[in-house]
Amino acid sequence: MGTGLFEERANRGACAALDLPDAVLARFLPIATAAQEVAAFGYFDPEWRLLAMRHLPPRQVDAVTIPFRTIVADALASDCALVVMAHNHPSGDPTPSAADYRLTRRIAQALQFIDVALFDHLVIAAHGYRSFRARGLL
């Protein structure tokens, strides 16, 4: 997993729209088995075409070090309408922690200022995943 500005950028004209939720989830499943907690952000247009994606290295995953400015800058640079965030729980238990709830609120608020929606936050683990949207939290 790279950490460049956009390690994956889709050609808008050639990219098929993703079906939800499986195609979006599939973009994030590779982080499920990472030995350390990692996070990824997908930037989508209104038709769910992936515009860009960023993976954060383990040292930037806790709520204190998530680079909010970078996430907002990526959203602006990609001209996205929707962001999906995902992170893994190396323990194998996808149950969101209290810190996960706080982090989700903070990222949603930061994106709201630029009229971009945090559509979902997925917590992915070896034994399944949890969706904040499915739980009515977004």
CATH number for position 56? 3.40.140.10
pLDDT in tens, 63-97: 546 789 999 999 999 999 999 999 999 888 999 99
Q: How many CB atoms lie within 10 A of CB 29?
A: 14
Q: Decide if 76 is inside a domain.
A: yes
Q: How many whole angstroms separate alpha carbon 118 and alpha carbon 112?
A: 8
**C-alpha span between 119 and 127 (Å, rounded):** 23
Radius of gyration of the chain (CA): 14
Q: What is the pLDDT of residue 60?
A: 58
- Does residue 67 lie within any of the structural domains? yes
Q: pTM value?
A: 0.82
Domains held by the chain: number: 1
Backbone φ, ψ for residue 108 (5° rounding) = -60, -40
Output the pLDDT for position 34: 87
